[in-house]
Chain A
Amino acid sequence: MAATRPRAGRVTRSVAVNTLLAVGALVMLVPFVWMVLSSLKGFSEVFAYPPKWLPHPAQWGNYVEAWQAVPFGRAYFNSVYLALVIVAMQLLTCAMAAYAFARLRFRGNNVLFLLFLATMMVPGQLTIIPVFLIMSKIGLYDSHWSIILPHGLFSAFGVFLLRQFIRGIPVELEDAALIDGAGRWRVFWSIVMPLLRAPLAALGVFTFVSQWNNFYGPLILLSSPEKFTVPVLIAQFKGEYITNLPLLMAAASLAVVPVLIIFVVAQRHIINGMTLTGAGK
């Protein structure tokens, strides 16, 4: 009896924990399910009383209509293109700067690094006004470069993360190569970069997700609809079709579902990347 009671308690506890988690999981999932179901309903169906959960018949035409109402294909391309270019630039330039801070001896190394860290406190809302004015001045307003350059060329967080990793790598291998006459660039490129694969992947995932969802920058810096990214396009779409619930949800599904599919397939890498960057800070 004494032996079974704790076990029974444990089972009850496990059932309770899993039930609570399942209820929470429903709260996370149902909005997405509802979005997809509503996107397949007819206009009168969504406002029917009593409400119906399942669309009948499924109005796939809503997706065609939403896709054609605004330049969706273009926005998809823009979002992927911007995110990929920014990730590529950031990984390279952050790794380079991180290498300099971790390995090179030059005057002001620590002070400069602290300055990089301090910039993490500067809110984007403060710098975006001048960035907007600068971009207008040099003719890059409403160009994708106005978003690529600030993010591709600067990430204090990326530099910090990669520097921590480089400092964890034993220096002997690099020193040996240097003594054999290899230049710093070769050491960086052929010895250090391959060892940074894991943190680079994590930073890449983190940057991709945040750029994919970036709204504030593109909202301010872009004005032509054919240059819009998916979030800006959705915001515009919402402004025009706020009352057309099925069409609005079709547009939201077009923005959300492909991302969720990619996420579920690559979930381990994406969550690990986001956690690493979160906890590493």
Chain B
Amino acid sequence: MGAKAVLAPPQPPPAPTAPPPPRPRRRRSLVHARDGRWAVVFLGPQMVGLVAFVLGPMVFALYLSLTEWGGSGPITFVGLDNFRDMFRDHAFWSSMQNTVWLTVLVVPGQLVSGLLVALALHQTRLKTLFRVIYFMPVVTSSVAVSTIWIWLLNGTFGPVNGILREWFGLNPPDWMGEPRYLVISIALVTVWQGLGFFMVVFLAGLQGIPTAYLEAAEVDGASSFRRFWHVTLPLLSPTLFFLTVMSLIGAFQIFDTVYMMTPQNSYLGDSTRTVVFRIYDLAFARYQFGASAANAVVLFVVLLVLTAGQMLLQRRWVHYEE
């Protein structure tokens, strides 16, 4: 608060002719006089990054999507051909379907598991211990995580099936050896790895809920389920909304686990080749940059529509406290 003293306006040099202008105004202009020039200095580096690595590439990608190009030689402008071919291509629709199915598995998985663990953590004294353990996979490289799980889920030698067989007497499927189970495995690994992040964000949301509301509900005799459903959940809805958007955008762009867990050139990829994988494959394995860019543009549009949809829907179910 010593700052207040320093803030005392500087005594303007005695100006015999004109009376000094009103003080606040003068201070403003003094402080902000060279802001325009300073803005160039302060924003410079990030503006270079914005133009060179985001806006420029975006425009370039839009242009590429209208061309046919193998990475060298002349670029041929083909109009909307890439998009026409793409929408007629079975591989595109299959990649879309795979992406949607993976998303359908991952998003509820992440939200429900994160919320359940957060609710449990909120009630335990061993919070620090459990928080560390659940968070460990989040800081681990997804490439290493996939490598571990490829073997954990191995149908014959993997310990997961070993346990399911020996302890539970089940007859588990070959998780890594059949297309429809492989995509479930990828979803499982994604949820396992992301759980810690969803947990801590939910926990932060839970800790922000004023206990007064819950106590009031308890005094009124509400059961713990009703307290959760009618008090906790609505007050948690901004967090839930944020995480839903994050999870949805993230699930649509899962790459590392798909790349690592799908054997190359195998029929197993029929269920796991997602849009993102196809974008990578077209550009960097087949050098069809135009077609790859067209797929990326479609991904961008789908993500925009999904997020806009979420924003519109949030009015129906997200409660922001006044």
Q: A-side interface residues toward B, CB under 8 Å?
A: 13-14, 17-18, 20-21, 24-25, 27-29, 31-32, 34-35, 38, 46-47, 51, 92-94, 96-97, 99-101, 104-107, 109, 112, 115-116, 119, 121-134, 149-150, 152-155, 159, 170, 172-173, 175-176, 178-180, 184-185, 188, 209, 212-213, 215-216, 219-220, 230-232, 234-235, 238, 242, 245, 248-249, 251-252, 255-256, 259-260, 263-264, 267, 270-271, 274-275, 278-279, 281
Contact = CB atoms under 8 A, between A and B. Distances in A.
A275 B204 contact: yes
Contacts of B139: 209, 213, 259-260, 263, 270
Contacts of A32: 136, 148
A275 B200 contact: yes
Contacts of A255: 141, 143-144
A104 B6 contact: no
B143 A235 contact: yes
B201 A97 contact: no
Given A97-B45, A100-B43, A121-B307, A17 B120 contact: yes
A138 B322 CA distance: 53
A31 B45 contact: no
A264 B132 contact: yes
Contacts of B50: 115-116, 119, 154
A100 B61 CA distance: 30
Interface of B: 3-4, 6-7, 9-10, 27, 30-32, 34-36, 38-39, 41-50, 52-58, 60-61, 64, 71, 117, 120-121, 123-124, 126, 128, 130-145, 147-152, 157, 159, 162, 192, 195-197, 200-201, 203-205, 239, 242, 246, 253, 255-256, 259-260, 276, 279-280, 283-284, 289, 292-293, 296-297, 299-300, 303-304, 307
A21 B53 contact: no
Contact of B27 (A175, A215, A270, A278): A175
A176 B216 CA distance: 48
Contacts of B299: 123, 125-126
Nearest to A181: B10
Contacts of A235: 143, 259-260
Nearest to A278: B201
A99 B42 contact: yes
10 contacts: A51-B159, A121-B300, A123-B303, A134-B60, A155-B46, A178-B30, A213-B139, A234-B147, A252-B144, A271-B135
B49 A150 contact: yes
Contact of B197 (A100, A131, A179, A274): A274
Contact of A21 (B126, B200, B289, B303): B126
A179 B307 CA distance: 45
Contacts of B276: 125
A28 B192 contact: yes
Contact of B4 (A24, A105, A172): A172
B27 A119 contact: no
B141 A215 contact: yes
Nearest to A214: B141
A29 B41 CA distance: 48
A264 B135 CA distance: 10
Given A185-B41, A212-B141, A249-B148, 19 more contacts: A104-B39, A127-B61, A129-B64, A129-B296, A130-B56, A130-B57, A134-B56, A219-B259, A230-B141, A231-B143, A234-B144, A235-B259, A238-B260, A245-B157, A248-B147, A271-B132, A271-B200, A274-B197, A278-B197
Contacts of A51: 157, 159, 162
A123 B296 contact: yes
Contact of A234 (B124, B143, B149, B162): B143
Nearest to A22: B130
B135 A34 contact: no
A28 B42 contact: no
B35 A104 contact: yes
Contact of A93 (B49, B143, B292): B49
Contacts of B150: 238, 242
Contacts of A104: 32, 35, 38-39, 42
Contacts of A154: 46, 49-50, 53-54
Most chain A beta carbons < 10 A, residue from B9, B49, B60: B49
